[in-house]
Amino acid sequence: MDFSGLHVVVSGGTGALGTAVVGSLIAMGASCTVPYVHEAEAKRFPHRGDAKVKLITVSDLADEASVAKVYAGEKLWASIHIAGGFAPGKVVDTDKRALMAQIDGNLVSCFLCCRAAVNAMASGGGRIVNVAARPALEWRTGAGMAAYTIAKTGVAALTVALAEEAAKDGILVNAVAPSIMDTSANRAAMPKADFAAWPKVEEVAATILFLASPDNRVTRGAIVPVYGKS
């Protein structure tokens, strides 16, 4: 895949999956804008200082002004939305504040980035890739994490609806739905799990990259399961 001369925004680009995506993009010739909220993540970001990477500090991707700052300027080819957060909790233990934190962090941020991306692409065509999650396709697995499941299901629905709206402008919109990925944080949280069954971030990134690439000429409105052996 060739991204030479193409500009890509990657929200959540300083996280584990985002780092893999950005690394592959710059190796394929893309320039990347990577917004971040937490300074600590930006400092340990391995692609910090790369001439093809522009880091932008933002207060909140659920804030319209912050999102507008990310998408101002350079012509946009693709926008990849990885930013989000996870919090477990049964419905009886989840108050409105916790619910809205998941909706803002996962769904509202994705919605606003999608909106800004479509406006930036205008009629020039492009690609949008969102990141949902396995519970967005398999609701029963969302037991014990209902707020997260609601938010990621919204991301999946947004993806399909926007794909219909944007197709006429040559903008193909898709999403991936990962299961638990093999990251150091997930290994620490679940030390007895079968790590070999979890998809690697590089493997999930490969699917994202195809959907975001010029090589993807026809796929739109897909929520692609990336479960590995899990």
* Predicted confidence band of residue 7 (pLDDT cuts 50, 70, 90): very high
CB 10 within 8 A of CB 82: yes
For 143-174, how does the pLDDT look when each residue is reduced to its tens digit (9 = 90+)? Answer: 999 999 999 999 999 999 999 999 999 999 99
* Predicted confidence band of residue 73 (pLDDT cuts 50, 70, 90): confident
Q: Give the chain's length.
A: 230
Mean per-residue pLDDT over the chain, rounded = 96
- Asked whether residue 123 carries a pLDDT value surpassing 90, the answer given is no
The C-alpha atoms of residue 135 and residue 221 are separated, in whole angstroms, by 18
Burial of 43 (0-12, 13-18, 19+ CB in 10 A): exposed
Q: Which domains does the chain have, with CATH numbers?
A: 7-226 (3.40.50.720)
For 186-216, how does the pLDDT look when each residue is reduced to its tens digit (9 = 90+)? Answer: 999 999 999 999 999 999 999 999 999 999 9
Give all strands of the β-sheet with 53-57 in edge-to-edge order: 53-57, 31-36, 7-11, 78-81, 126-131, 171-178, 223-226
CB atoms within 10 A of CB 28: 15
